[in-house]
Amino acid sequence: MRVGDHESHVHLRRPPIPGRGERWALLLDIDGTLVEFAQHPDDVHLPPGLQSLLERLRLGLTNAVGILSGRTLAEVDRLLAPLIFPVVALHGAEQRYPSGELTVLSPPAAIADSTRRACAAALDRWPGAFMESKSGFGFALHFRAAPEHGSAVRQFVETIALKSGGNYEVQFGDCVAELKPAGRSKGSGLLALAAKPPFVGRLPIVLGDDLTDESAFEQAEALGGFGVIVGPRRPTSARFSLSGPAATQAWLHSLANHLELEVKDPA
């Protein structure tokens, strides 16, 4: 399925729990999915109890839990510390597999530097907007505090991407326009994880809130799983929905309880 398969007027149901014999893998976005957005990404913190919930899920799914995020790998690890998960970070540009193997796709240093300088210089046009540099080669222009500049910021990043010689592509999100290394996505990252134990052979269940998650929703469907859209954004290729991060946490608690009961009473 692709974005638009579920029209905006269709009410999407709350996701189910695994049927008997179903082997799930859980892939989670962070911002807007597990936790609420903040004006600045550095202001986001995990609410009490979320780390222990994630650990329960990992135990219940025999380690088949991963993170799909637009944040850098270092930021994901900082937020979730001391927990360490397989991660598809920076929209797929950074990937850490269950074995600990790491792959990074980055543009040539000179192109990354010229892109950074162009973005920094443009900020003077948009008071209230700011740039987030991601691992030195990904660049996100945030305008949550200055939404009136959204159209101009989007046009700017599209122009920069065209000038990058195919090294960058644009990723739009909630009050953010990003320049990310071309050629990877959360969807391609999900496929890479799905080929690695303990994810191989399982049904991928993807929770996410933003346009950046649509490629992962589509790949989850192709592999027999499904996507869960968090929040009101429509249309989407996700099959189920949750109203926001609080609803996500409540559903994850239900899932963890179910998995623990299955261990106690496998029959």
Helical H runs in the chain? Answer: 50-60, 73-80, 109-122, 150-162, 186-194, 214-222, 245-264
> Is there a catalytic annotation at residue 29?
yes
Distance CA 8, CA 234 (A): 5
d(CA 189, CA 175): 23
Q: Cis peptide before 86, with omega less than 30 degrees from 0?
A: no
Of 5, 29, 77, 124, catalytic = 29
Q: How far apart are CA 135 and CA 155, in angstroms?
A: 23
What's the Cα-to-Cα distance from 189 to each of 26, 94, 184, 215, rounded to whole Å?
14, 9, 7, 10
Among 121, 97, 91, 112, CA closest to 187:
91
Note whether 234 and 8 are within 8 A (CB). yes
Assigned token pair, 10: 């269709």
Give the Cα separation of 81 and 46 in Å (integer).
10
* 53 residue type, one letter: L
Q: What is the DSSP string of 96-136?
A: E-TTS-EEE----HHHHHHHHHHHHHHGGGSTT-EEEEETT
Catalytic residues: 29
